[in-house]
DNA sequence: TTGTAAGCGTTATCAT
DNA sequence: ATGATAACGCTTACAA
């Protein structure tokens, strides 16, 4: 059932039907009524594909995230979805799984399908050509993860500052033998957080170059592995505090401690980053830096939509506040 | 840059270009080459919207889930995405949040946009008219959650049997004072799991009508609330084991115990359902019934795609095995 | 093997 | 205020 059927049934021209549907031109009450009548009688619904072709829009935006298995990204996704829903726009989900070829695959797909825009949370930290091409053809806004060399609207937090605050919190307890589990070196957030840790370290008089740094991949398992490396040594050589660059890895190190009889926080303190839901569920609860993931998603979507609406958004980049949330994994070092 | 530009540049007709792109007709090596040449030179990419209109397909399927905050659904989503990716099909995410009007909203949206199909995991358990209309216009396959009154292909597990197995496991430890935290009464899974529990109960000689059942909503918080109700009584009145209808709620009760000094599993045993990632991360690890969520997603997507390919699938409904995974939350009752 | 032309279902321009 | 009609960019008979 097409718009022509409706027109016929209502005894008007198709253009008139279109006009009432989109209220794009004045129509007499009489005809409008007849048209609306016909529409419900026939159960007519404008064909999305046709409409898209004509309007040259897809009414859909892509969300590219590295790893839906990390609740942080889910929170972001929720935020995005929440605003899209009010704009009759679909959300197409693309998990890159930290793999360049997947990112490239989705970049091509989204471009070919002429999506209105994409919200991109990089798991790579580097500009693939596919991504660059995407950014040329489509509106792209970055969330959480900045990509050096790509000047695009960005929504995220001041990772360096947040990391510094977190590290200060544990250093203030008196810890001096600390270690860090960092994120993938190529990622902006990882680099920023590390920088923040170092700042706090020097501020507390400890030489950052002396503190062991093992790089994880932001996944839980890598946290566990890092813990094994850091903690699987004679007790006197162990750090008394571990700064983990995200919660998933922090939970991994917590796991390691629990299964190896290492007391948290009695023997080692742990701090994470993100404040994902699990963090309040493990025990002891994970002390961490909370990122407003949901709000990040919302703002990113809002920025994108205002671009699409043709407006130049008031704020094209925004930095949200990360805050310390204290739970049970940080205490004074053992004496 | 359209297909006409390519045709012009290559000095052939548009139909020829189309033919080489879709290899839908034999072409001489010579022209094919020229066409391919022109395509890369111009950086041409067929317009998805136009193609969709012409082919009358959207090359996209919807995934409706109640709550992306529950990792179980994320696992399903991953499964779906994994197969869609190999078929150049987009995944549009729709979280209903257990709210009827959202489900209706998305049902309308997906239908209007002429999505190829939708994979539906109900959070309602009941057929809204929107959903019924969706099912009339689009191919839909149900996953995890059956909807009585809607005869549609289904992928899920034998929830009753799985619940029985789980309950048996705890009853075999000697528990007789048990309580259950069930799911939303309207949901098929909730009802099935409850039925399974009851079967196990009678098999162990305990009257199911004597066991307290408090209904949750499959979210963590409701598990905590249920625990408060069940456990916030004189110690002698407390159940020694709690059967939770899903992991999120089980974690909630575990939380409650931990924060209230109730030993798990020394004083109360807990078993969950699903085996989501958190379950192995809490401590003690949650004993639960594992559902192959990822595989569910995969199979649902495969079934859907084979429908779309025009084949009547070999199996239009499939039941996957749920298995007991024993971790630390179940032990013998205190004596 | 290649070209011509007729749609796919809308929207938008321009007359009327 | 309403009606013809030409796009939108592609695919697919059908002709040549």
Q: Which of A85-89, A114-118, B122-126 has the lowest mean pLDDT?
A: B122-126
Buried b (16+ CB within 10 A) or exposed e, A135-161: bebbbbbbbbbbbeebeebbbbbebbb
Q: How confident is the model at residue A312 (pLDDT cuts 50, 70, 90)?
A: confident
**Closest listed residue to residue B205, CA positions, set B180, B167, B240, B176:** B176
- The pLDDT of residue B94: 97
Nearest to B281 among A47, A113, A278 (CB): A278
- The pLDDT of residue B241: 98
What residues of chain A lie within 8 A of the CB of B113, using their CB? 48-49, 59, 90
Q: Which of residues 3-42 of A touch strand D (CB under 7 A)?
A: 11-16, 19, 25-28, 30-32
Phi/psi for A203 (5° steps) reads -60, -25
Is residue B204 within 8 A of residue B233, CB to CB? The reply is no
Question: Which 3 state secondary structure label does DSSP give B17?
Answer: helix
Closest chain A C-alpha to B102 CA, distance in angstroms: 9
Q: Is pLDDT above 90 for B134?
A: yes
Q: Is pLDDT above 80 for B312?
A: no
Averaged pLDDT, A144-154: 94
Averaged pLDDT, A68-81: 96
Closest chain B C-alpha to A90 CA, distance in angstroms: 6
What is the tens place of the pLDDT at every residue in A212-229? 999 999 999 999 999 999
| Residues B81, A93: C-beta atoms closer than 8 Å | yes
Q: Is pLDDT above 90 for B202?
A: yes
Which tokens belong to A283? Answer: 């025990």
- The pLDDT of residue B310: 83
| Residues B114, A251: C-beta atoms closer than 8 Å | no
Cβ neighbour number for residue B260 with a 10 Å cutoff: 11
Q: How confident is the model at residue B316 (pLDDT cuts 50, 70, 90)?
A: confident
The Cα B105–Cα B129 span in angstroms is: 11
**Closest listed residue to residue A94, CA positions, set A117, A75, A120:** A120
Mean pLDDT of chain B: 96
The Cα A87–Cα A60 span in angstroms is: 10
Q: How far is CA B208 from CA A60, A243, B229, B246, in A?
A: 50, 50, 19, 19
Q: Is pLDDT above 80 for A33?
A: yes
User: Is A315 an 8 Å CB contact of chain B?
Assistant: no
Q: Is pLDDT above 80 for B98?
A: yes
User: Is A91 an 8 Å CB contact of chain B?
Assistant: yes
Q: Is pLDDT above 90 for A173?
A: yes
The Cα A66–Cα A49 span in angstroms is: 29
**Closest listed residue to residue B170, CA positions, set B287, B321, B281, B264:** B287
- The pLDDT of residue A266: 97
The Cα A200–Cα A217 span in angstroms is: 23
Q: How far is CA B194 from CA A156, B93, B156, in A?
A: 44, 30, 17
- The pLDDT of residue A316: 85
Q: Is pLDDT above 80 for B315?
A: no
The Cα A282–Cα A328 span in angstroms is: 10
Q: Is pLDDT above 80 for A23?
A: yes
- The Cα diameter of chain B in Å comes to 89
**Closest listed residue to residue A66, CA positions, set A90, A93, A92:** A93
The Cα A94–Cα A103 span in angstroms is: 8
- CA atoms in the 13 A half-sphere facing the CB of B116: 25
Q: Which of A50-59, A311-320, B19-28 has the lowest mean pLDDT?
A: A311-320
What is the tens place of the pLDDT at every residue in A254-267? 999 999 999 999 99
Q: Which residue of A44, A103, A113 is the best one to mutate when testing the B interface, meaning the one whose CB has the most B CBs within 10 A?
A: A113
Q: Is pLDDT above 90 for A313?
A: no
B326 Cβ contact list (under 8 Å, min separation 6)? B169, B287
Q: Which residue has the higher pLDDT, A128 or A161?
A: A161
| Residues B48, A255: C-beta atoms closer than 8 Å | no
Exposed, middle or buried by CB within 10 Å (0-12, 13-18, 19+), for A25? exposed
**In chain B, which residue's Cα lies nearest the Cα of A114?**
B48
A42 Cβ contact list (under 8 Å, min separation 6)? A1, A5, A6, A9
What is the tens place of the pLDDT at every residue in B140-175? 999 999 999 899 999 999 999 999 999 999 999 999
Averaged pLDDT, A14-32: 95
Mean pLDDT of chain A: 96
What residues of chain B lie within 8 A of the CB of A286, using their CB? none
* Nucleotides of strand C within 7 Å of the protein's CB atoms: 1-5, 7-14
Cβ neighbour number for residue A100 with a 10 Å cutoff: 14
Which tokens belong to B262? Answer: 């109730």
- The pLDDT of residue A306: 93
Q: Which of A6-15, B250-259, B303-312 has the lowest mean pLDDT?
A: B303-312
Averaged pLDDT, B312-322: 87
Averaged pLDDT, A53-79: 96
Nearest to A49 among B52, B68, B283 (CB): B52
Closest nucleotide to B27, Cα to C1':
C1
**Closest listed residue to residue B269, CA positions, set B167, B159, B160, B193:** B167
Nearest to A45 among B77, B112, B277 (CB): B112
Task: Count Cβ–Cβ pairs < 8 Å, chain A vs chain B.
Answer: 114
Listed by number, the residues of chain A in 227-256 with a beta carbon closer than 8 Å to a beta carbon of chain B are: 251, 255
Phi/psi for B205 (5° steps) reads 75, 20
- CA atoms in the 13 A half-sphere facing the CB of A187: 24
Q: Is pLDDT above 80 for B218?
A: yes
Q: How confident is the model at residue A311 (pLDDT cuts 50, 70, 90)?
A: confident
Q: How confident is the model at residue B216 (pLDDT cuts 50, 70, 90)?
A: very high
Q: Is pLDDT above 80 for A315?
A: no
Is residue B228 within 8 A of residue B235, CB to CB? The reply is no
- The pLDDT of residue A228: 98
Verify cis geometry, omega within 30 degrees of 0, for the bond prior to A284. yes
Q: DSSP states of B47-96 as a string?
A: -HHHHHHHHT--SEEEEEES-TTSHHHHHHHHHHHHHHHTTT-EEEEEE-
Q: Which residue has the higher pLDDT, A128 or A201?
A: A201
What is the tens place of the pLDDT at every residue in B236-292? 999 999 999 999 999 999 999 999 999 999 999 999 999 999 999 999 999 999 999
- The pLDDT of residue B138: 94
Identify the bridge partners of residue B178 per DSSP, sorted by sequence position.
Answer: B241
| Residues A105, B114: C-beta atoms closer than 8 Å | no
Q: Is pLDDT above 80 for B33?
A: yes
């Amino acid at each position: 059932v097409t718009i022509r059927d409706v027109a016929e049934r209502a005894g008007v021209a198709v253009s008139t039907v279109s006009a009432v549907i989109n209220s794009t031109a004045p129509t007499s009450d009489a005809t409008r009524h007849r048209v609306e009548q016909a529409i419900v009688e026939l159960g007519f619904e404008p064909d999305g594909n046709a409409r898209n072709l004509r309007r040259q829009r897809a009414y859909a935006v892509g969300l590219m995230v590295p790893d839906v298995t990390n609740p942080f990204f889910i929170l972001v996704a929720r935020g995005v979805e929440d605003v899209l829903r009010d704009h009759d726009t679909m959300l197409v989900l693309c998990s890159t799984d930290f793999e360049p070829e997947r990112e490239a695959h989705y970049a091509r797909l989204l471009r070919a399908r002429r999506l209105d825009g994409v919200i991109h949370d990089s798991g790579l930290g580097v500009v693939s050509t596919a991504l660059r091409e995407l950014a040329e053809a489509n509106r792209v806004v970055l969330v959480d993860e900045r990509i050096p060399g790509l000047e695009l609207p960005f929504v995220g937090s001041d990772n360096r500052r947040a990391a510094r605050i977190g590290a200060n919190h544990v250093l203030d307890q008196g810890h001096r033998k600390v270690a860090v589990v960092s994120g993938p070196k190529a990622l902006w957030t990882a680099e920023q957080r590390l920088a923040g840790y170092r700042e706090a370290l020097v501020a507390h008089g400890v030489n950052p170059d002396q503190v062991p740094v093992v790089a994880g991949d932001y996944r839980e398992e890598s946290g566990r592995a890092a813990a094994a490396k850091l903690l699987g040594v004679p007790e006197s050589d162990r750090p008394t505090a571990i700064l983990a660059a995200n919660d998933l890895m922090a939970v991994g190190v917590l796991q390691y401690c629990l299964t190896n009889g290492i007391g948290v926080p009695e023997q080692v303190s742990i701090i994470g980053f993100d404040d994902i839901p699990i963090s309040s569920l493990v025990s002891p609860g994970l002390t961490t830096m909370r990122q407003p993931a949901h709000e990040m998603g919302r703002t990113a979507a809002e920025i994108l939509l205002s671009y699409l609406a043709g407006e130049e958004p008031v704020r094209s980049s925004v930095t949200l506040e990360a805050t310390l949330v204290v739970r049970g994994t940080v205490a004074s070092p053992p004496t």
